[in-house]
Amino acid sequence: MNGASREALAAARERLDALTDSTSVDAGKLAEELAAVTALLDREVSLRRVLTDPAQPGEAKAELAGRLLSGQVGGPAADLVSGMVRSRWSQPRDLVDSIEELSALAELTAAQRTGTLDDVEDELFRFGRIVESSTGLRAALTDRSATVSAKTALLNQLLGGRAEPATERLVARLVTQPRGRSLESGLQTLSRLAAARRDRMVAVVTSAVPLTDAQKRRLGAALAKLYGHPMHLNLDVDPEVLGGISVRVGDEIINGTVADRLAEAERRLAG
Protein backbone atom coordinates (compact mmCIF):
# COMPACT_ATOMS: atom_id res chain seq x y z
CA MET A 1 0.00 0.00 0.00
CA ASN A 2 1.11 3.56 -0.69
CA GLY A 3 1.31 6.29 1.93
CA ALA A 4 -2.32 7.39 1.99
CA SER A 5 -3.64 3.85 2.30
CA ARG A 6 -1.07 2.93 4.96
CA GLU A 7 -2.13 5.90 7.06
CA ALA A 8 -5.81 5.06 6.59
CA LEU A 9 -5.23 1.43 7.61
CA ALA A 10 -3.23 2.48 10.68
CA ALA A 11 -6.07 4.74 11.77
CA ALA A 12 -8.61 1.96 11.18
CA ARG A 13 -6.55 -0.44 13.30
CA GLU A 14 -6.58 2.05 16.15
CA ARG A 15 -10.36 2.34 15.89
CA LEU A 16 -10.67 -1.45 15.85
CA ASP A 17 -8.51 -1.72 18.98
CA ALA A 18 -10.66 0.90 20.69
CA LEU A 19 -13.80 -1.05 19.80
CA THR A 20 -12.51 -4.47 20.82
CA ASP A 21 -11.03 -3.16 24.07
CA SER A 22 -14.65 -2.97 25.19
CA THR A 23 -15.91 -6.34 26.35
CA SER A 24 -19.40 -5.30 25.26
CA VAL A 25 -18.31 -5.69 21.61
CA ASP A 26 -18.55 -9.25 20.27
CA ALA A 27 -15.24 -9.52 18.39
CA GLY A 28 -16.25 -12.76 16.68
CA LYS A 29 -19.47 -11.24 15.35
CA LEU A 30 -17.56 -8.15 14.25
CA ALA A 31 -15.12 -10.35 12.33
CA GLU A 32 -17.98 -12.13 10.55
CA GLU A 33 -19.69 -8.87 9.60
CA LEU A 34 -16.47 -7.28 8.32
CA ALA A 35 -15.88 -10.41 6.23
CA ALA A 36 -19.34 -9.95 4.73
CA VAL A 37 -18.57 -6.31 3.89
CA THR A 38 -15.30 -7.46 2.28
CA ALA A 39 -17.19 -9.89 0.07
CA LEU A 40 -19.73 -7.20 -0.89
CA LEU A 41 -17.12 -4.62 -1.89
CA ASP A 42 -15.05 -7.25 -3.67
CA ARG A 43 -18.06 -8.04 -5.88
CA GLU A 44 -19.29 -4.48 -6.38
CA VAL A 45 -16.46 -2.72 -8.19
CA SER A 46 -18.45 0.45 -8.85
CA LEU A 47 -19.46 0.73 -5.20
CA ARG A 48 -15.92 0.54 -3.87
CA ARG A 49 -14.85 3.14 -6.43
CA VAL A 50 -17.56 5.50 -5.20
CA LEU A 51 -16.59 4.90 -1.57
CA THR A 52 -12.93 5.71 -2.30
CA ASP A 53 -13.46 8.57 -4.77
CA PRO A 54 -11.16 11.38 -3.58
CA ALA A 55 -13.38 13.94 -5.31
CA GLN A 56 -16.29 13.11 -2.99
CA PRO A 57 -16.54 14.56 0.55
CA GLY A 58 -15.66 12.05 3.24
CA GLU A 59 -18.85 12.68 5.16
CA ALA A 60 -20.98 11.98 2.07
CA LYS A 61 -19.20 8.67 1.55
CA ALA A 62 -19.64 7.79 5.22
CA GLU A 63 -23.38 8.51 5.01
CA LEU A 64 -23.66 6.31 1.90
CA ALA A 65 -21.86 3.45 3.65
CA GLY A 66 -24.09 3.87 6.70
CA ARG A 67 -27.25 3.65 4.60
CA LEU A 68 -26.03 0.58 2.72
CA LEU A 69 -25.01 -1.28 5.86
CA SER A 70 -27.91 -0.26 8.07
CA GLY A 71 -29.76 -3.37 9.16
CA GLN A 72 -27.17 -5.60 7.46
CA VAL A 73 -24.44 -5.44 10.09
CA GLY A 74 -24.25 -4.27 13.68
CA GLY A 75 -23.42 -0.77 14.82
CA PRO A 76 -19.71 -1.39 15.53
CA ALA A 77 -19.07 -2.79 12.05
CA ALA A 78 -21.07 -0.04 10.34
CA ASP A 79 -19.29 2.68 12.34
CA LEU A 80 -15.89 1.18 11.59
CA VAL A 81 -16.51 0.98 7.83
CA SER A 82 -18.04 4.46 7.76
CA GLY A 83 -14.95 5.82 9.43
CA MET A 84 -12.71 4.05 6.92
CA VAL A 85 -14.43 5.52 3.87
CA ARG A 86 -13.90 9.01 5.30
CA SER A 87 -10.17 8.40 4.90
CA ARG A 88 -8.20 8.82 1.69
CA TRP A 89 -7.17 5.63 -0.13
CA SER A 90 -4.51 5.31 -2.82
CA GLN A 91 -6.67 2.87 -4.77
CA PRO A 92 -10.09 1.28 -4.26
CA ARG A 93 -8.76 -2.23 -3.64
CA ASP A 94 -6.79 -1.02 -0.63
CA LEU A 95 -10.03 -0.28 1.21
CA VAL A 96 -11.28 -3.84 0.65
CA ASP A 97 -7.92 -5.37 1.63
CA SER A 98 -7.93 -3.31 4.82
CA ILE A 99 -11.47 -4.30 5.82
CA GLU A 100 -10.50 -7.93 5.28
CA GLU A 101 -7.44 -7.47 7.49
CA LEU A 102 -9.56 -5.91 10.23
CA SER A 103 -11.90 -8.92 9.99
CA ALA A 104 -8.96 -11.26 10.60
CA LEU A 105 -7.69 -9.10 13.47
CA ALA A 106 -11.12 -9.12 15.09
CA GLU A 107 -11.23 -12.91 14.81
CA LEU A 108 -7.78 -13.17 16.40
CA THR A 109 -8.89 -10.81 19.16
CA ALA A 110 -11.81 -13.13 19.88
CA ALA A 111 -9.35 -16.04 20.09
CA GLN A 112 -7.14 -14.05 22.44
CA ARG A 113 -10.11 -13.39 24.74
CA THR A 114 -10.75 -17.13 25.01
CA GLY A 115 -7.07 -17.94 25.57
CA THR A 116 -6.72 -19.86 22.29
CA LEU A 117 -4.57 -17.46 20.27
CA ASP A 118 -1.40 -19.55 20.68
CA ASP A 119 -3.25 -22.61 19.39
CA VAL A 120 -4.62 -20.64 16.42
CA GLU A 121 -1.10 -19.46 15.53
CA ASP A 122 0.26 -22.99 15.59
CA GLU A 123 -2.68 -24.44 13.67
CA LEU A 124 -2.36 -21.87 10.89
CA PHE A 125 1.33 -22.71 10.57
CA ARG A 126 0.75 -26.47 10.54
CA PHE A 127 -2.07 -26.18 8.01
CA GLY A 128 0.23 -24.12 5.77
CA ARG A 129 2.84 -26.87 5.95
CA ILE A 130 0.24 -29.51 5.05
CA VAL A 131 -0.86 -27.48 2.02
CA GLU A 132 2.73 -27.00 0.87
CA SER A 133 3.44 -30.73 1.08
CA SER A 134 0.29 -31.90 -0.75
CA THR A 135 -0.19 -30.71 -4.32
CA GLY A 136 -3.48 -32.61 -4.53
CA LEU A 137 -4.92 -30.88 -1.48
CA ARG A 138 -3.74 -27.49 -2.66
CA ALA A 139 -5.32 -28.10 -6.08
CA ALA A 140 -8.64 -29.07 -4.50
CA LEU A 141 -8.72 -26.04 -2.21
CA THR A 142 -7.80 -23.59 -4.96
CA ASP A 143 -9.86 -25.10 -7.80
CA ARG A 144 -11.79 -22.21 -9.32
CA SER A 145 -14.43 -24.54 -10.71
CA ALA A 146 -15.21 -26.05 -7.29
CA THR A 147 -18.22 -24.72 -5.43
CA VAL A 148 -18.02 -22.99 -2.08
CA SER A 149 -20.01 -25.84 -0.52
CA ALA A 150 -17.54 -28.41 -1.87
CA LYS A 151 -14.54 -26.52 -0.48
CA THR A 152 -16.31 -26.01 2.83
CA ALA A 153 -17.06 -29.73 3.06
CA LEU A 154 -13.40 -30.57 2.38
CA LEU A 155 -12.25 -28.15 5.07
CA ASN A 156 -14.71 -29.69 7.51
CA GLN A 157 -13.13 -33.08 6.85
CA LEU A 158 -9.66 -31.66 7.43
CA LEU A 159 -10.24 -29.31 10.36
CA GLY A 160 -13.69 -29.98 11.76
CA GLY A 161 -13.29 -30.68 15.48
CA ARG A 162 -9.50 -30.85 15.12
CA ALA A 163 -8.77 -27.13 15.23
CA GLU A 164 -9.93 -24.08 17.13
CA PRO A 165 -13.15 -22.52 15.76
CA ALA A 166 -11.25 -19.31 14.98
CA THR A 167 -8.75 -21.27 12.87
CA GLU A 168 -11.56 -22.96 10.98
CA ARG A 169 -13.27 -19.65 10.25
CA LEU A 170 -10.08 -17.88 9.15
CA VAL A 171 -9.07 -20.70 6.81
CA ALA A 172 -12.60 -21.06 5.44
CA ARG A 173 -12.76 -17.36 4.54
CA LEU A 174 -9.37 -17.55 2.88
CA VAL A 175 -10.26 -20.65 0.83
CA THR A 176 -13.77 -19.56 -0.20
CA GLN A 177 -12.86 -15.90 -0.82
CA PRO A 178 -9.25 -15.96 -2.09
CA ARG A 179 -9.55 -12.59 -3.86
CA GLY A 180 -6.71 -13.37 -6.24
CA ARG A 181 -4.18 -14.42 -3.60
CA SER A 182 -2.34 -17.71 -3.37
CA LEU A 183 -3.40 -19.94 -0.49
CA GLU A 184 0.17 -19.99 0.86
CA SER A 185 0.55 -16.22 0.95
CA GLY A 186 -2.84 -15.86 2.60
CA LEU A 187 -1.89 -18.30 5.36
CA GLN A 188 1.42 -16.50 5.87
CA THR A 189 -0.40 -13.20 6.24
CA LEU A 190 -2.75 -14.68 8.83
CA SER A 191 0.22 -16.08 10.77
CA ARG A 192 1.90 -12.68 10.79
CA LEU A 193 -1.28 -11.01 12.02
CA ALA A 194 -1.64 -13.59 14.78
CA ALA A 195 1.93 -12.98 15.92
CA ALA A 196 1.48 -9.21 15.75
CA ARG A 197 -1.62 -9.51 17.90
CA ARG A 198 0.64 -10.80 20.66
CA ASP A 199 3.30 -8.21 19.77
CA ARG A 200 5.70 -10.89 18.64
CA MET A 201 7.74 -11.62 15.55
CA VAL A 202 7.61 -15.05 13.91
CA ALA A 203 10.69 -17.18 13.25
CA VAL A 204 10.29 -20.27 11.08
CA VAL A 205 12.85 -22.75 12.39
CA THR A 206 13.79 -25.82 10.35
CA SER A 207 15.91 -28.52 11.99
CA ALA A 208 16.97 -32.06 11.14
CA VAL A 209 15.44 -33.40 14.37
CA PRO A 210 12.90 -31.91 16.80
CA LEU A 211 14.39 -29.37 19.18
CA THR A 212 14.30 -30.00 22.91
CA ASP A 213 12.45 -27.61 25.18
CA ALA A 214 15.78 -26.24 26.43
CA GLN A 215 16.95 -25.64 22.84
CA LYS A 216 13.70 -23.86 22.03
CA ARG A 217 14.10 -21.57 25.05
CA ARG A 218 17.73 -20.76 24.21
CA LEU A 219 16.96 -20.12 20.56
CA GLY A 220 13.93 -17.96 21.38
CA ALA A 221 15.97 -15.91 23.85
CA ALA A 222 18.84 -15.48 21.36
CA LEU A 223 16.53 -14.36 18.56
CA ALA A 224 14.65 -11.99 20.85
CA LYS A 225 17.97 -10.42 21.84
CA LEU A 226 19.11 -10.24 18.21
CA TYR A 227 15.93 -8.60 16.91
CA GLY A 228 15.00 -6.68 20.04
CA HIS A 229 11.50 -8.11 19.94
CA PRO A 230 9.65 -11.08 21.49
CA MET A 231 9.83 -14.04 19.13
CA HIS A 232 7.36 -16.84 18.41
CA LEU A 233 8.94 -20.02 16.98
CA ASN A 234 7.17 -22.00 14.27
CA LEU A 235 9.02 -25.31 14.22
CA ASP A 236 9.50 -27.57 11.22
CA VAL A 237 11.52 -30.78 10.88
CA ASP A 238 13.33 -31.61 7.64
CA PRO A 239 15.89 -34.48 7.71
CA GLU A 240 17.45 -33.11 4.50
CA VAL A 241 19.10 -30.23 6.38
CA LEU A 242 21.53 -32.89 7.76
CA GLY A 243 21.96 -31.19 11.11
CA GLY A 244 21.96 -27.74 12.61
CA ILE A 245 19.09 -25.34 12.04
CA SER A 246 17.83 -22.81 9.52
CA VAL A 247 15.89 -19.78 10.77
CA ARG A 248 13.75 -17.45 8.66
CA VAL A 249 12.47 -14.19 10.11
CA GLY A 250 10.47 -12.30 7.52
CA ASP A 251 12.65 -12.15 4.40
CA GLU A 252 15.89 -12.79 6.33
CA ILE A 253 17.34 -16.29 6.50
CA ILE A 254 19.93 -17.36 9.06
CA ASN A 255 21.51 -20.63 7.96
CA GLY A 256 23.41 -22.88 10.31
CA THR A 257 22.88 -26.28 8.72
CA VAL A 258 25.38 -28.90 7.63
CA ALA A 259 23.75 -28.96 4.20
CA ASP A 260 24.23 -25.22 3.87
CA ARG A 261 27.92 -25.44 4.86
CA LEU A 262 28.47 -28.29 2.37
CA ALA A 263 26.81 -26.26 -0.38
CA GLU A 264 29.03 -23.29 0.47
CA ALA A 265 32.13 -25.49 0.33
CA GLU A 266 31.10 -26.82 -3.08
CA ARG A 267 30.62 -23.27 -4.35
CA ARG A 268 34.09 -22.30 -3.16
CA LEU A 269 35.67 -25.39 -4.77
CA ALA A 270 33.84 -24.68 -8.03
CA GLY A 271 35.10 -21.08 -7.89
Confidence band, pLDDT 50/70/90 cuts, at residue 105: very high
Among 49-63, 75-89, 132-146, 242-256, where is mean pLDDT lowest?
242-256
CA distances from 65 to 68, 71, 95, 115, 201 (A): 5, 12, 13, 34, 35
Which ranges of 87-202 does DSSP label H, i.e. alpha helix? 92-113, 117-133, 135-142, 148-159, 165-176, 183-197
- Among the ranges given (128-142, 167-181, 226-240), the one the predictor scored with the smallest mean pLDDT: 226-240
Q: Judge if pTM exceeds 0.85.
A: no
pLDDT attached to residue 72: 94
For residue 256, the surrounding DSSP H or E stretch is strand 252-257
Q: How, if at all, do strands 201-207 and 244-249 pair?
A: antiparallel
Contacts of 15 (CB under 8 A, 6+ apart): 80, 83
At residue 60, does pLDDT exceed 80? yes
Q: What is the pLDDT of residues 210-251, one digit of tens each?
A: 989 888 888 888 888 888 887 888 888 888 877 778 888 876
Strand partners of residue 205: 235, 247
Please provide the average confidence, as pLDDT, over all residues in the chain.
Answer: 90
CA distance 181 to 65: 26
The helix (run of H) or strand (run of E) holding residue 207 is strand 201-207
Residue pair 68/60 in contact (Cβ under 8 Å)? The answer is no
Backbone angles phi, psi at 257, to 5 degrees: -100, 155
Instruction: Specify burial of residue 119 (Cβ count, 10 A radius: 0-12, 13-18, 19+).
Output: middle
Rg (CA), the chain: 21
The rounded distance, in Å, linking the Cα atoms of 72 and 49 is 21
Distance between CA atoms of 5 and 95, rounded to whole angstroms?
8
With beta carbons less than 8 A apart as the criterion, state whether 128 and 120 touch.
no
The mean pLDDT value for 190-218 works out to 86
Asked whether the beta carbons of 258 and 242 are under 8 A apart, the reply is yes
User: Over 80: is that where the pLDDT of 5 sits?
Assistant: yes
Pairing of strands 201-207, 231-237: parallel
